[in-house]
Amino acid sequence: EYWGFNLRHYDVGNHFNEMCGLFEVNYDLFPDDKLQKQFIGYYLHASHQFNGSTKEVTSDEIDTFYKTVGKMVLLSHLFWGIWAIYMSQVSAIDFDYAGYSVIRLREYFKRKQQFLNL
């Protein structure tokens, strides 16, 4: 349905957002820092292997990636919030796009300072 090349930080941040649900959204399910960093560590390890590197993933590498992912979490909320506003006007699909937009944009503003301060 929606695919294409994105920045890997964005894809990971969007993945974290979608762990909270798509139709029944519960942001209490958003992964905590420990789980995010564990996921990122596994992701970077797999990325190194895919690229033929035997280099170990460092905590600095995880922290740097984590900080960028946090900002992409925000971008994901903005993207899908704005997309849902548009879809509420043009889609014939029976889905509460306007309500979904409110959920995503509300979460953006709720977490904005948290992620921008990383």
pLDDT in tens, 10-56: 999 999 999 999 889 999 999 999 999 999 999 999 999 998 999 99
Confirm if 68 and 11 have CB atoms less than 8 A apart: no
Span 97-117, pLDDT tens digits: 999 999 999 999 999 999 999
For the whole model, what pTM was predicted? 0.90
| CA atoms of 21 and 29, how far apart (whole Å) | 8
CB atoms within 10 A of CB 38: 13
